[in-house]
A and B are shown apart, each in its own frame.
Chain A
Amino acid sequence: MSSDPFARPRAANGRAPDVFKRGGWVPMREFSDAEAVDFVVVGTGAGGGPLLAGLAEGGFSVVGFDAGPYFRPLEDFASDELEQEKLYWTDERVVDGANPITMGGKNSGKAVGGSTVHFAMVSLRFRPEWFKSRSMLGYGADWPLDWREMWDYYARAEQALSISGPVSYPWGPKRPRYPYRAHELNGAAQLLARGAEAMGIKWTATPLATVSAPHGRSPPCVYRGFCRFGCSTNAKQSQLVTFIPRALRAGAEIRDLAMVGRIEMGRNGRVSGVHYHREGHWRFQKARNVIVAGYAIETPRLLLASASDRYPGGLANSSGLVGRNLMTQSNQAVFGVMQQQVRWNKGPPSLALTEHWNYDDRKDFAGGYCWMAQGPLPVEWVTVQTGARGLWGQALRDEMEKYNHQVGLKMVGEMLPDERNRVTLAEEKDSHGLRVARVTYGWGDNDKALIRHALGQMQASLEAVGATDIFRQEDDTNHLAGTARMGDDPAMSVVSADCRSWDIPNLWVCDGSIFPTTGGVNPSLTITSIAMRTADRIRTLAARGEL
């Protein structure tokens, strides 16, 4: 009964796929395009999912749009890297600048569930001081959020995502126990731990959004190692198996294969709905509010593309910052070869990490970074061998044969906001006739200093465990943020602490775009926590008649 998720929408005719049951369906409420819904949410990922659930549970009528398909992991996912590129945003984007960013699977998903369908499940909290980076640590910008409130929302997000984490976490203020216990360390993670111990720094089992024991209809992880290519067992707690089913149960509608191309403005300075392309036609959904949650490239792309005579610079852009301050995170790595067989592909890629350099300020650069164990699959690994070392020919084949003995440490490093790093619209158009995003990026001096420091540390760690043939991957980045920054000054930000745009009271942005700084940890847990908070804030504002 397995249809093609790309052929036609699956969430239609009053039902949506039951991702836990092969061929199964759950009832789905549907709304008419012609009747204004309370909320349209564009994007169903780490930001969109919790909003859909929170708002539907709060009694609002809500429709979630996703350009991507509605996958059935148990049936649709194969154990194959190339096949599973179908999870990524592989439509055209143009990259340029001094250090063009790699897109696709590094940071861009296209599916109901967003990038959480392919993410590595690393679920970390911000260091509290980062919410006041400028005033407390002297760099970047302050968030208009209080870390204590975020600490609560982190706990709620961790519960909702059944995070499997260590019994005690070595850094930061106390946090409640993770709902599930950490996973067993594989060989690659053990090597990170030994290296850290040799260097006298702490390490931990990584808090991961995949369960180590049964949870509901999710079986525990089978350690197949294809996490970043889609979890075919539903152990991974992506949005697709957590918040989206909740949203459906609470009466939300999901529209898959529905690309929102433009947000329409009414006469009264408020949005009136969205134009979306589905099943071969452009359609229009009326809405009382629109929340854009398409992540740091598609969100500014949509806001800019929704420009009109009245808003020539795009929507919510009086500050001029929509698309600006794009940040990625440095993702450099150091690799080596061990005498022992490591077989690093067994299990989630990053079963251990160290956040030491997020909390130790004895550095001559701003910002922090962590590093984690690695377990690339063959195609991903050959990308590193060719990209970082320029290898090809017999030399490449010889090196690739060492696959089962490889070990690696990969960083997630903070990069500072710079207005010149931005998303704009290229002249080219995609298959929908929409202008393609142009992503311009260059590293700053601080970014480079941080990367140098990290590479040195990771190399020392590998040397300490006796790795040989050590080489560095000097050019890699991953997660994105910043292009619709949150702040408390309308001149210097796009949205407020409630993720509400300053310019247009019923236009909201709630995804990684709103980050004023990236921090030195993976962003998904922070995005989800903010989305949960935003849903609560909207309910409060609505109760007060302030929507």
Chain B
Amino acid sequence: MTDRYPAYDVLAKRWTESWNEATRKVIDRRLAVPREPRFFSASEWRTLGALCDRILPQPKDRPPVPLPAYVDQKITDGRLDGYRYAEIPPQGEAWRRGLAALEAASQEAHGASFHALSAERQDGLLHRMQQGDLTGEAWGGMPCDLFFEHRVIPDITHAYYAHPTAWSEIGFGGPASPRGYVRMGLDRRDPWEAVEATCGKEEARARRNNSRVV
């Protein structure tokens, strides 16, 4: 089952009652994220790009969500989380250190840059980071597992699932104001919600119906 909600596009509802002006402004800005880094250096950017590709691999048959750009933008916008673990420095510094340390770990383990490794090797290093297994000076005392859990994962995965492409992928209704939902029960769908293709020939029907969702 490749596409659970074929042809469903949250953006098709942009001018319906499901979206208000405030939402359009926000999503426009989100879609217009600068694609070039303003915080990260070129080499950090390369590492970050490879990292994003592993944390949230994206299908090749559609325009990718530019995850590194969103990580960069969060830092340059100065958007904070509202709390910080004592052992992790502020987000910009944490990212710099973490990316450098990841690159150092890659060199140490495989004699190559992180972005040049195979996917399996990249995943291997990331699993080790998640387990707390990567150590060394480059971390500067920042526990790698905390960096993974509280920076890498949230900054990248939130960026993905805050993007209309991801909303369409999971069949999320998307923005909903002033129009919310009417049919609230189990197995009930409002006409402006995504149609699920449960498999096989259902797919064609779902595709037809999803292109009419509005």
Chain A residues within CB distance 8 Å of chain B:
2, 75-83, 85, 88-96, 100-105, 108, 184-187, 190-191, 221-226, 232-233, 338, 340-343, 345-347, 377-379, 381-383, 386-387, 390, 392-394, 396-397, 400-401, 403-404, 438-439
Contact among B79, B81, B184 for A347, CB-based, below 8 A: B184
B129 to chain A, nearest CB (A): 11
Asked if A91 and B80 sit within 8 Å, CB to CB, the answer is yes
Cα separation A78 to B175 with both chains bound (whole Å):
8
* Pairwise interchain contact A397-B56, C-beta atoms closer than 8 A: yes
Taking the nearest CB of chain A, how far is it from the CB of B116, in angstroms? 19
* A-B contacts besides A80-B26, A82-B158, A390-B130, 13 pairs, CB < 8 Å: A2-B22, A78-B26, A79-B18, A80-B175, A82-B162, A104-B82, A340-B187, A341-B189, A343-B188, A378-B172, A382-B161, A397-B57, A401-B4
Task: Please indicate the chain A residues that have their CB under 8 angstroms from the CB of B82 in the complex.
Answer: 88-91, 93, 103-105, 108
The docked-state distance in angstroms from the alpha carbon of A210 to that of B54 is: 42
The distance from the CB of B166 to the nearest CB of chain A, in whole angstroms, is: 7
CB distance B181 to A224 under 8 Å? yes
A90: chain B residues within 8 A (beta carbon): 79-82
Bound Cα distance from A338 to B54, whole angstroms: 29
Most buried by A among B176, B183, B188: B176
Cβ contacts A to B, 14 pairs, < 8 Å: A79-B18, A79-B19, A90-B79, A93-B83, A95-B86, A96-B86, A187-B185, A187-B188, A226-B177, A343-B188, A379-B158, A379-B162, A392-B153, A401-B4
Question: How many angstroms between the C-alpha atoms of A89 and B19 in the bound complex?
Answer: 26
Are A393 and B56 in contact, CB atoms less than 8 angstroms apart?
yes
Q: How would residues 184 to 200 of chain B score, 1 for a CB under 8 Å from any chain A CB and 0 otherwise?
A: 11111100011010000
B39 interfacial by beta-carbon distance below 8 Å: no
- Alpha-carbon distance A81/B163, docked complex (angstroms): 10
B170-181 interface code vs A (CB 8 A; 1 in, 0 out): 111111111111
B residues with CB within 8 A of A? 4, 18-23, 25-27, 30, 54-57, 79-86, 90, 123, 126, 130, 149, 153-154, 157-158, 160-162, 166-167, 169-189, 193-194, 196
Complex Cα–Cα for A459 and B157 (A):
27
Q: In the bound complex, do residue B85 and residue A96 qualify as a contact, i.e. CB atoms below 8 Å apart?
A: yes
Contacts of A85 in B (CB 8 A): 79
CA distance A343 to B174 in the complex (A): 12
Chain A residues with Cβ under 8 A from B149's Cβ? 387
Bound CA span A149–B193, Å: 48
Chain B neighbourhood of A2, CB < 8 A: 22
Identity of the chain B residue whose Cβ is nearest the Cβ of A101 in the assembled complex: B83
Indicate if the CB atoms of A222 and B178 lie closer than 8 Å.
yes
The chain A residue sitting closest to B164, CB to CB, is A80
Please give the distance in Å from A47's CB to the nearest CB on chain B: 20
A226 touches B176 (CB 8 A): yes
Shortest beta-carbon distance from A80 to chain B in Å: 5
* Contacts known (A78-B20, A393-B56); A403 close to B185, Cβ less than 8 A: no
B57 adjacent to A404 (CB under 8 Å): no
Complex alpha-carbon distance, A96 and B84, angstroms: 9
**Interchain CB contact under 8 A, A75 and B56:** no
CB-based contact B180/A346 at 8 Å: yes
Closest 3 CB pairs of A and B: A104-B82, A222-B180, A79-B175
Would you call A343 and B162 a contact (CB within 8 A)? Answer: no
Chain A residues near B4: list those with CB within 8 A: 401
CB distance from B160 to the nearest CB of A (A): 7
Name which residue of chain B comes closest to A95, CB basis.
Answer: B83
Q: CB distance A396 to B56 under 8 Å?
A: yes
Q: Which of B25, B79, B184 contacts A186 (CB 8 A)?
A: B184
Nearest CB of chain B from residue A408's CB, rounded to whole Å: 14
Query: Is the beta-carbon distance between A392 and B173 smaller than 8 angstroms?
Result: no
List, in ascending order, chain B residues with CB within 8 A of A187's CB.
184-188
Which residues of chain A are within 8 angstroms of B172 by Cβ–Cβ distance?
Answer: 345, 377-378, 403-404
When distances are taken between beta carbons in the complex, the residues of chain A under 8 Å from B56 are: 392-393, 396-397
CB contacts (< 8 Å) of B126 on chain A: these are 392
Contacts of A347 in B (CB 8 A): 180-181, 184
CA–CA, A115 to B130, complex, Å? 33
| CB nearest to A189 among chain B residues | B184
CB–CB A223/B86 < 8 A: no
State the Cβ distance, B123 to closest chain A Cβ, in Å.
7
How far, in angstroms, from A403 to B167 measured CA to CA in the complex?
10
How many Å from the CB of B146 to the closest CB on chain A? 10
Give chain B residues whose Cβ lies under 8 Å from the Cβ of A101: 83
Contact B187 A341 (CB under 8 A): yes
Q: Which of B25, B27, B158 has the most chain A CB atoms closer than 10 A to its own CB?
A: B158
